């Protein structure tokens, strides 16, 4: 049966019981090639770089969660990492093309476009996507792509998707939205008109810090075919075991995001009242500059919290080394809580640029542990 409910689709779409055995979980098809009935006549699969049944099931499920019906238009491309998916989008750009990036972007995204593609003639400009005139001022006659993050990484700014996408489309420019932080449970960018949606599936979609993967979802059949061609030609594919783990993780995405969001709100409120914290950045707080926009655009406020220490970067370094339940580690979106100093870890590549992040900033990926234990851990680390 079909369903309009996210939780049901996450468990059932693309994941029907196996026809041969009745297995209720999608099998891991650990094969590189497939027997053909005659030269050039196969049963839907010929080589696992091109397609794989386990990977296909994941792609159908994720497309559904992002509001795309692959049988009607578009679909999902899953890749070996979030950066592999980003690179596939980059392959669509040519020398002389221009891309607009957020002025608060993930360090790896900035590094790829500013320090890799720029060497091949692709131009870029960073813009404040939260400002009403930020994107308009950055668009050029050769702009081919606008890249949006919301919430941004690590400053957790919220971008008005409808307004920015409308601006870009009016100029004839495609838009890609990195939906890693929000996930399709909180925000569906395609509903706002996005041409491409990017995910690091390593994060919330997988949800258990045991898999690395990336994905692109599009409702545009032409873009989907182009990306499929590029993936087959270049080869950054997701393996079947990684696809299986991600598919398993997505089944509980709704439950996890509800808990991540609830815990994050409680922690943000705790930090906002702490004497050693100078600023707390969380879209769910009334103090967040785009709180009202977040409340309209998101189903909840997510599991990421950033804050700044009153005593500067040294105190940020010290407190992040004192936590016990919050592991000091890069990445995010797993069931366990993580803590980091972005300037010294995930965002070192933006040092010295207009995207540089404050050195006293601490970023939390709030997990699904009991919130009282998480608050106690932060309290003792800050003491």
CATH number of the domain residue 274 falls in: 3.90.1150.10
User: Which pLDDT value is given to residue 138?
Assistant: 98
CATH number where 132 lies? 3.40.640.10
Spell out, as residue ranges, where the chain has pLDDT lower than 70. Answer: 1
Do both 257 and 243 map to the same domain? no
pLDDT at 1: 56
Which residue is catalytic, options 9, 144, 203, 259?
Answer: 203
The pLDDT assigned to 352 comes to 86
Catalytic site residue 178? yes
Is 174 tagged catalytic? no
Nearest to 208 by CA among 111, 329, 336, 57: 336
**pLDDT, tens digit, for every residue of 13-41?**
999 999 889 999 999 999 999 999 999 88
User: What's the pTM?
Assistant: 0.96
Give the whole-angstrom CA distance, residue 61 versus residue 84.
20
Distance, CA of 322 to CA of 328 (rounded, Å): 9
Task: Please give the span between the terminal C-alpha atoms of the chain, in angstroms, as a whole number.
Answer: 54
Cis bond upstream, residue 151 (ω within 30):
yes
Q: Is there a single domain that holds both residue 234 and residue 314?
A: no
Element at 144 (helix H, strand E)? strand 143-149
* Rounded (5°) CA angle 308-309-310: 120
CA proximity to 264, closest of 156, 171, 112, 351: 156
- Please identify which of the residues 29, 106, 204, 244 carries the catalytic annotation: 106
Where in the sequence is the domain holding 185, given as residue range(s)? 6-250
The residue annotated as part of the active site, out of 97, 104, 178, 242, is 178
Q: Return the pLDDT at 247.
A: 98
Instruction: Verify that 224 and 344 share a domain, yes or no.
Output: no
pLDDT digits (tens, 9 = 90+) for 209-222: 999 999 999 999 99
CA distance 298 to 161: 11
Buried b (16+ CB within 10 A) or exposed e, 200-210: bbbbbbbbebe
Q: What is the pLDDT of residue 346?
A: 82
Q: What does the pLDDT read at residue 72?
A: 85
Residue among 282, 350, 343, 355 nearest 314 (CA): 343
CA dist 285 and 355 (Å) reads 24
Claim to verify: residue 136 and residue 282 sit in the same structural domain: no
Mark whether 203 is an active-site residue: yes
- Tell whether 289 is covered by a domain: yes
How many angstroms from the chain centroid is the CA of residue 309?
27
Length of the chain: 383
DSSP state of 110: H
Positive or negative, the Cα torsion across 327, 328, 329, 330? Answer: positive
In a domain, 47, yes or no: yes
Rounded-to-integer distance, Cα 297 and Cα 310, Å:
31
Whether residue 285 is found in the same domain as residue 146: no
Say which residue the tokens 């839907």 belong to.
Answer: 44
Choose, from 34, 49, 248, 251, the residue flagged as catalytic. Answer: 49
If asked whether residues 201 and 347 sit together in one domain, one would say no
Are residues 55 and 237 in contact, defined by beta-carbon separation less than 8 angstroms?
Answer: yes
Q: In the structure encoding, which two tokens stand for residue 31, read together? A: 């094969």
């Amino acid at each position: 049966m079909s369903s309009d409910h996210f939780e049901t689709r996450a468990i059932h779409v693309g994941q029907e019981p196996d026809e041969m055995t009745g297995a209720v979980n999608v099998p891991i098809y650990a094969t590189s090639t497939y027997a053909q009935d005659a030269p050039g006549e196969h049963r839907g699969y010929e080589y696992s770089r091109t397609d794989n049944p386990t990977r296909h099931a994941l792609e159908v499920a994720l497309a559904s969660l992002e509001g795309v019906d692959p049988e009607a238009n578009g679909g999902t491309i899953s890749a070996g990492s979030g950066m592999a998916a980003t690179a596939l989008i980059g392959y669509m750009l040519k020398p002389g093309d221009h891309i607009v990036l957020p002025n608060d972007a993930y360090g790896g995204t900035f590094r790829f476009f500013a320090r890799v593609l720029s060497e091949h003639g692709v131009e870029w400009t960073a813009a404040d996507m939260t400002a009403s005139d930020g994107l308009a001022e950055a668009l050029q006659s050769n702009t081919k792509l606008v890249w949006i993050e919301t919430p941004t990484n690590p400053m957790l700014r919220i971008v008005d998707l409808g307004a920015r996408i409308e601006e870009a489309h009016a100029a004839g420019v495609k838009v890609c939205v990195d939906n890693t932080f929000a996930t399709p449970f909180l925000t569906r960018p395609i509903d706002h008109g996005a041409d491409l949606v990017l995910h690091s599936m390593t994060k919330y979609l997988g949800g258990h810090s045991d898999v690395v993967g990336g994905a692109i979802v599009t409702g545009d059949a032409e873009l989907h075919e182009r990306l499929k061609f590029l993936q087959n030609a270049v080869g950054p594919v997701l393996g079947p075991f990684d696809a299986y783990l991600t598919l398993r993780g997505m089944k509980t995405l709704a439950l996890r995001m509800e808990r991540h969001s609830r815990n994050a709100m409680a922690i943000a409120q705790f930090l906002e009242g702490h004497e050693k914290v100078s600023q707390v950045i969380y879209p769910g707080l009334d103090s967040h500059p785009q709180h009202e926009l977040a409340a309209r655009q998101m189903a909840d406020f997510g599991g990421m919290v950033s804050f700044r220490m009153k005593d500067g970067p040294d105190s940020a370094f010290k407190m992040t080394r004192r936590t016990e339940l919050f592991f000091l580690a890069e990445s995010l979106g797993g069931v366990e809580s993580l803590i980091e100093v972005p300037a010294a870890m995930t965002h070192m590549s933006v040092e010295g640029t207009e995207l540089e992040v404050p050195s006293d900033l601490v970023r939390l990926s709030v997990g699904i542990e009991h919130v009282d234990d998480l608050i106690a851990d932060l309290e003792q680390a800050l003491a």
